[in-house]
Every structure is written in C-alpha cells, then in structure tokens.
Structure 1
Amino acid sequence: MEINFIGGAYTGRSTNLNAQTCQNLYPVIDNQGGKSVLALYPTPGLKEWHDPAYEAEVRGLHVMGNFLYAVIGPRVYRLSTGAVAVRMTGDIGTTTGRVRMANNGSQLLITDGALGYILSGATVTEITDADFPIPSSCAYQDGYFFVTEKDTYNFYMSDSLDGTSWDGTNYEAAFVDPDPLVAIISTYRELWLFGTQTYEVWGYTGETFPYALIEGSFAKIGCIAAASAAEFQGTIAWLDDQRAVRATQGYQAVRISTQQVEYQLARYDTVSDAIGFFYNQEGHIFYVLQLPSENKTWVYDFTTTLWHTRASAASDIRSRANCYVLFGDKHIVGDYENGKIYEYDLDKYTEDGNTLRRIRAAQSVHKDRKILFHNQLEIEFEAGVGLATGQGSDPQAMLDWSDDGGHVWSNEHWASIGKVGEYKNRAVWRRLGRSRERIYRVTVSDPVKTIIIGAHLEASSGRN
C-alpha cells in the first residue's frame, strides 16, 4: 500500500498526534499528470558568490540601479553583476543587527535603529539634520524617504528627493492606537505602518503631507519582530504580537501559520529578533523566517501553503541566509556571521561546500489499532544521482522509525539511492518488525539530488 509519506513540518504539542518533520526538503505539487501529485524536492544549496575576506554579519542587501549594496558589519560595499566589490568610503556606526535600506535612484538611505546614513556616489555620511529622528525603520515612496521614529507612533518624511534634509514639521502619527511603530513598508503607493499591537495603511493624497489613513485598514494585530516584516508583489508577511505568522489579503491579515508551527514559536524564549524575507524560485514563493536567538529557520511556501524547516550544515542550526535580494536573475543571500555572500542554487546540494542533512519524518502508519507486520518498505527516490567520486558516489538513505509516537527512535538502517546512472535502483528495507503504529523517518546527508516521490509499504494485519 502507498503510505502518506510526503508532507510538511508539523510537529505539534503531541508527537503522538503529529510528529512530521521536513528539513531541507520542500513539498511540491504536480497537477499536470505526473507519477505522483506530491513529492519532496531539495532546498537550494549555497554557492559562494563573493567573499570580502572580512568576517562579520551581512546585515542587509539592496539593489539600486545596476549595483548591489551590502552592509557587512559597519562597512558598505558596492558589487557589480560580476561580483566585483568596492568598499564605500565611510562606515556606519554599529557593527551588528539588521539594517533597513531604501533608495530614491541616486541616494541610498541606511538605518540601523540608532542613526541614519546616506550613500551618495561612493561615500557614506551620517544624516546630521537635527530634525532627523532616531529611526526604527525606513521606506521610499513618491519622491520621499519615510522613517518611523523609535519608541513613538510618529513617522517622518524627508524633503523631496533628498535624504539628507528633514523638516521636523513633516511628520504624522499613526494615531488610531498609540502603540510604538516598529516597521514601515511601501507597496503600490501605500505605506503600511506596523506597531507593536496594531497596523494601519496610509494612501497617497497629494496634500502637503501626501499620505492619509485609509479607512477600514486598521487592525488590532501587531508586529513582535520588526525585521520579520517583508513584502513581495503586494503581499506582506510578518510575525505578529501573538507569535502567529500573518500575510496580507487586501487590508486583512490572515494566519498562514498552523497550530503546530505556532506551538513551536510559542516555545522559543526570544523571537523579537526574527528576520523575514521573500523569494520566488521556479514558481514557488517562499517566506523565510529566521529566528537568530533560537537558531531555527521556518519557511512557508505560498504556492503549496505548506511549511518546512531549513538547517545549516553545522549541527542543524539555522540556515546561513541572513538577508536576501534578487540581483538580475540571481537569488543572493548574505551570511549571518562570516561576511560571505552566496547564491541560492537548486543544482547545488551543499552549503558553501558543507553537506546538509535532509530529513523527512512521515505521517503515522496505522490500521484500526491492529498490529501490523512490516514486511517491506520502499521509498521511491529519483535514483542514479550518485557523484562520480568522493562522498555521494554511492549515496545512502538512512531509515529509522518510532513505534511510540515519536518519543524513541530505532537504530538507523541504510540503503543506497543509486550510484551514478543506476536509474532503476530501489531503496528497499525488509523485515522491519511489527507495531501498532509507526512513524518512518529518512535522512540523506550525501551532497546529491534528493527527490522523494513516495513510499510503498508491504504489511499484513495481526490481532487487534
């Protein structure tokens, strides 16, 4: 019988109810007559794109014109499409923590939560205008820069096309509810203002202060992590003040996190430093939620509406991607500690040369509470993907299982996925004992194309 092997990451409060994991794999749906409707594909590897030989957090990436700009520690770099980097003159005043950036075509505004900076040409200068507030976030729209003032519900507007000049009277307050603003996002000529307990949307009016509150856009849903708020093609996602993940539909905010995901988020000590970003690759629109203090990475796929997790090669901690930008046709991410800039590559199966563990724990196998004798399990991989030499030349799938709802796991049992060209190879395990219920888990750590199409179990029923 075919068993329900494909799915997302949904371990909840009771592993007896649901202990599904899906790490460094993401579910895909084939509605075009494929062999299976559901399959698991490997998440992209990290291919080094630029190494500045400077170990520090890549704090933000931004594209302006034909160049990519990266803030690495206190330094600002300009990179060409050929990954040639030039360090800009002048640094920013902090060395860690997420930065926000926005541009007006000739100036790049950088805010770090303490000060604001303008990059013009190849020089970074601090904004010294006395009317410039302590910024918590920034955006650009219709010729103006906007910043939210830290620990207040005020947001300020620059002079037209000049991020160095600010008038202290050019501000408004997100006044429906006086909670401090933490993030501002510009999309489709609207400004979304996120507070700790609410959000509201302002639209363009053309008046002296050219934006005003849009009636019906206010909601009592806040943002617990300013850097989690991200936008893609008009959709904004963020971690709300109840530790649920939300996404916009019109002016509404709908939950996209499940109860299982929210259970995991509720267990974490610190989520206020969460970082979010979108990317779109091969028809899948992903929202990546990094939780630095907890060393975890959760990913929601808007295309399938399913969640999975990602982990680094080092001890299954958070993936290394700290920030993202699309630069030309390249999906560029920055490392959270070593200064490197990578490219997401679906044909790369390592993390900057280090192997990744891809893990799937499936739904529980059971039948009318009867004992099942597990005679044979076959997991259908895309076979024959082994490398010519070295690790992965005979790639292995490591199977273990739990007969008590995911509390205790068996020893690992290995089977080959197939050496290069062995396209008819079958990953089969036999004489697997008996159980009333069982969760199968498979792990692949070889740097090969790991695609799981399904699983077939031959079992016979025993007594009740």
Structure 2
Amino acid sequence: MPPITWPTGTAPGVNPTETGGRLINAIAERAPAGSRSEIVWRRVAGLIARFTTTQTAVRGALLVGSVLYVVSGNRVYSITSSYGVTELTGTVGGAGPVTMARNMKAPVPDVLIAHSGGMSSINISGASVAVFSDGDLPSVNSICWVDGYFIVTAENGLAYQSGLNDTGFASVDRTTAEADPDGLYRAIASGSDLILMGTASLEFYANAGNPTGFAFNRSVVVPIGLKAPYAVAGFEPGFADTVIFVANDNTVRRLQGYDPAPISGPDLNRLIEAVANPAELIAWVYQAAGHAYWVLSGPGWTWVYDVSTGSWHERQSYGFGDWRCRFGVAAWSKWFTFDLESGKAFELNSAARRDGANPLVWTLRSNQAHRFPGRAVIHKASFDFETGIGIDAGISPIETDPVVRIRWSDDGGRNWGNPLTRKLGTQGEDLSIDINNAGLTGRKGRIWEMTISDPIEIAFFGGAMDIEERAA
C-alpha cells in the first residue's frame, strides 16, 4: 500500500488546488528511534486560564523579580506567582502594544514603559504608574535595557541612553542611526549586542565604555530593515535568544550572527505583503515541551515557527479564524499569553488539551496524492493513530471514547465530502482505523483531512492507501 504523504510544515498555497498540506493546531516531531514512523504528529500546547485583569486588550507584560507587571487597557496590574492580581493607581496613555524595560537598580529597580502616547514609569514601592517625562528626550517609540542602560529610540533615527542604572537622560548621550536615512522602529538587546532596527537597515552596537556621549559603538550594519514596530521577537528573557523578525521585503528572517536568513515561504510572504497596516503584525514567543516557538499574527491569521524543527504551523481558536492570543512572557518557570479581546491570561502547557474552556481542534491535511492526469480507485485507506487513549475516569464521551473525523477532497481542496467518524479507542483498546471503498479520485488526486477536537493525547504516525490505478 503506497503511503499517504503528510506535511511536516503548513503550506496552504495561494490557491486551494496547489496546497502542500496544512497543520492547524498540530506539530510534527521527530519520533523516537525505532518507532514505526520517522515523524509523529501531535497537538500544540493548550491554554490553562490563570488570572484576569479588569480591562480589555492586554498591551504588554514584564517580569520584575517575582512579580509580573501587565499593561491592560490604560491600567497596569501586578500579579504574584499565586495569581493574585492588584491594580496599580494611575493610568498608561496611548493605544496598542507597549514596550517595557527594567534596570538593575538596587534594592528596587526602575521600570519604564514606552507607548504611542509617550512614556510611563512604574513605582514598584508605591504600587502606582505615572507619566514619565524628560526634557532631553523627543517623542520616543521603543525602549529596551542593556548593560545597565535604558535605550530609547525615536522615529527620526536618534537613540538615547539613560544614566547607568538610572532613569535620567542627557541630550548628549545619544547616537544617530546613519547607515540609512530610514529612522528607527525598535531597540532590542540580544546577548551583549544592542540592535537598532530601522525600516531599511539594522545597526549593531557594542558597549565600548565611552566615558562621554553614547557608551556604545556601532560595529555591523545589515542592509535590511524591520517592516513594523512589533514584528520582532526572540530576545525576551527566558527564551532561546533567537531574534526573528518580519523584514521590509515581506519575508520572515532569523538572525544567525549578523546574517538575516529567510525562513518563510511564498504563502506566508504573500500574507504579510497583503497586510494594509503593518502595525497589525504582532510577533511574540513561548516555549513548551522542549520546543521554542516564534509566533506571528496578522489580521485574521496566526502562523507559528518551531525554532526547534524549522517548520511552520497555523493556530486557530475554536469558532475564530485566528488565534485569540497575543504576547508571550516567561514567569515562574512557565509561559503565559493573553486573550486578544479581554484581560484573560493563560498558561501555555503541552499537557493542556483545550484552549481554556474551548476545544483545541487538531487538524492535519495531507499533501495531494495524484497521478495527473490518471485517477485511482481507493479500495482502502488506513490511518496509524495511537489508539486506546481514552480515559476511563474522564468526561464522557469526549475523554472516555474519543473520535477522529476524516474527510477528503478530489478536486484539489475546493470541495469536501462529509466527514466519517472513527473511534480512537477507550482506555487500553486496540483499534484499526480504516476507510473501505473510498471511491475514485479526480484528476487532481486525493487530499485527506483529519480533525480531533476531543481533549486527549494525540499521536499520529502516518497513513497508506490500497489503490487501483485508472486511466484519465
């Protein structure tokens, strides 16, 4: 029986009939040595509800010591490791995402927030937030911390540094991104490097300990820019320090040293190109089960790059075309993310098989099995799942007697038949998952699609078809 070919990365194609298969809420892992397949397909990490703010639209978060500070709406909240939520007095201006940074000032660090309306500061001791202003600064658009200094950027291409472990800025302690007259979108810290990101170039700086003026000297210039202010991630505390960003040529690129290597394909590049407002491109990161993930959301879609495997998959929330999550932050040896339209916060956990209270629907769509222009009669199709994965003490029937739904398309994915349901087995039950007499394929071949919404552990190892070839 020839095997059905399943993708290890999502590739929906510009048109349905050119698809290379899809992974939606599904990942492909290398199977253990000696397994019955080289690849095993599993479900992505689910969400566990942990705390809620009283405002909608989380805008950013930062861990300071053992306390997580979250900007939600125009408020700031402090959250403890036991998920106690306290609203700070005062408000944060602006709209949209924020960038946050802290220094190492002892015994209480300073925390600054850059947003579209200016800057704010968090008074940790006073549990308050207030407007931050400094007459030596212009209007700024991002902030980071590196080697003891706050670094802020301005759209006009200027970058300013604070005093050492201080919040004071001097007008002479600055530099200009001069490699290209493109202005600046972001400043980020990656390892010992300060990276100033413009719309047409990246400039790398190293701390030279200059006694006056800007403490950093420029070292390397990369002639490619950042497409949007929030389309970069991978430098966050607790992550693998792998900077990935959306470039000004509509590709996604991973910095390997000073080389911005492309990692996206034509499907994603076209999605990015079609975004009318680049500020809607939001990148963030998380880790689960030994995998490091870089997430990119645009209007109506979310793609995730598995840094560990080099493959992409898609994420969708139940009843929603996109993933409802934005922003990731590491805290208390866990990773958290936030609901797009509320103040809900979730822990990302590979043992969670739901998205909060909603189903987490695993979908795997095969490559096109075709012999154009010939066709084939499919006498039998077999699907190699780990069966007997029901839980006797679980919720009936979704945990005790889980199922997979299988459907197919013979016109390249334009139209689909009604799904057939096959049981995955109660606890310890050994089952075969087959579809007999699956009909005659079209000239474009056969695409199979499998979905599982039941909250159980998924392990899929592959499939095969018993076919009889027919002439066109």
> When the two structures are superposed, what TM-score results if normalisation uses the length of structure 1?
0.93
Counterpart pick for 1:329 among 321, 330, 333: 333
Counterpart pick for 1:239 among 246, 255, 270: 246
Counterpart pick for 1:307 among 302, 305, 312: 312
Match for residue 33 of structure 2? 32
Aligned residues: 454
Match for residue 83 of structure 2? 83
Match for residue 441 of structure 1? 449
Secondary structure of the corresponding residue to residue 235 of structure 1: coil
> What is the 5 A alignment of 1:255-274?
255-274=262-281
Question: Which digits, 9 at most, give the CA deviation of each residue in 1:24-65, with x for residues without a partner?
Answer: 00111136332211121111111011123x140111111111
Match for residue 253 of structure 1? 260
Partners of 1:290 and 1:353 in 2: CA distance: 22
Secondary structure of the corresponding residue to residue 142 of structure 2: strand
Contact map agreement 2:6 2:21 (CA 8 A) in 1: no
Partners of 1:33 and 1:69 in 2: CA distance: 46
Question: Does structure 1 residue 228 correspond to structure 2 residue 231?
Answer: yes
Partners of 1:358 and 1:371 in 2: CA distance: 29
Counterpart pick for 2:170 among 167, 171, 176: 167
Match for residue 435 of structure 2? 429
Match for residue 463 of structure 2? 455
Distance 1:391 1:114, change over 3 A: farther
Partners of 2:196 and 2:465 in 1: CA distance: 52
* 2:340 partner amino acid: Y
Secondary structure of the corresponding residue to residue 440 of structure 1: strand
- 1:254 deviates by 0.6
Partners of 1:336 and 1:371 in 2: CA distance: 46
Question: Does structure 1 residue 398 correspond to structure 2 residue 405?
Answer: yes
* 2:470 partner amino acid: G
What runs of 5+ residues in structure 1 fail to find an aligned partner? Answer: none
* 2:452 partner amino acid: V
- 1:19 deviates by 4.2
- 1:20 deviates by 1.3
Partners of 1:334 and 1:380 in 2: CA distance: 35
Question: Does structure 1 residue 420 correspond to structure 2 residue 427?
Answer: yes
Which deviates further from its counterpart, 342-351 or 392-401?
Answer: 392-401
Counterpart pick for 1:192 among 192, 195, 214: 195
* 1:175 partner amino acid: E
Partners of 2:78 and 2:194 in 1: CA distance: 28
* 2:455 partner amino acid: P
Contact map agreement 2:7 2:21 (CA 8 A) in 1: no
Match for residue 99 of structure 1? 98
- 1:14 deviates by 4.1
Contact map agreement 1:12 1:261 (CA 8 A) in 2: no
Contact map agreement 2:7 2:22 (CA 8 A) in 1: no
Distance 1:19 1:231, change over 3 A: closer
Question: Does structure 1 residue 355 correspond to structure 2 residue 356?
Answer: no
> What is the 5 A alignment of 1:173-184?
173-184=176-187
Match for residue 121 of structure 2? 118
Contact map agreement 1:313 1:355 (CA 8 A) in 2: yes
Question: Which digits, 9 at most, give the CA deviation of each residue in 1:360-419, with x for residues without a partner?
Answer: 111111247432111111222222233533351432222221212222222222212223
* 2:316 partner amino acid: A
Question: Which digits, 9 at most, give the CA deviation of each residue in 1:137-167, with x for residues without a partner?
Answer: 1110121101111x2111111122122x221
* 2:98 partner amino acid: V
* 1:327 partner amino acid: A
Partners of 1:50 and 1:328 in 2: CA distance: 14
Partners of 2:373 and 2:32 in 1: CA distance: 33
Partners of 1:257 and 1:278 in 2: CA distance: 16
Partners of 2:32 and 2:153 in 1: CA distance: 45
Match for residue 280 of structure 1? 287
Counterpart pick for 1:141 among 143, 146, 154: 146
Partners of 1:157 and 1:439 in 2: CA distance: 56
Secondary structure of the corresponding residue to residue 141 of structure 2: strand
Partners of 2:407 and 2:153 in 1: CA distance: 51
Question: Does structure 1 residue 374 correspond to structure 2 residue 378?
Answer: yes
Distance 1:189 1:269, change over 3 A: same
Secondary structure of the corresponding residue to residue 243 of structure 2: strand
- 1:6 deviates by 4.0
Partners of 2:46 and 2:161 in 1: CA distance: 40
Contact map agreement 2:317 2:324 (CA 8 A) in 1: yes
- CA root-mean-square deviation: 1.8
**% same residue:** 27
Partners of 1:282 and 1:311 in 2: CA distance: 20
* 1:370 partner amino acid: G
Match for residue 59 of structure 1? 59
Which deviates further from its counterpart, 17-26 or 198-207?
Answer: 17-26
Counterpart pick for 1:219 among 222, 226, 234: 222
Distance 1:234 1:351, change over 3 A: closer
Contact map agreement 1:114 1:135 (CA 8 A) in 2: no
Match for residue 17 of structure 1? 18
Partners of 1:312 and 1:349 in 2: CA distance: 13
Question: Which digits, 9 at most, give the CA deviation of each residue in 1:197-236, with x for residues without a partner?
Answer: 211111111112211110xx21221111211211244421
- 1:430 deviates by 1.3
Match for residue 153 of structure 1? 157
Partners of 1:374 and 1:270 in 2: CA distance: 47
Contact map agreement 1:6 1:454 (CA 8 A) in 2: no
Distance 1:412 1:267, change over 3 A: farther
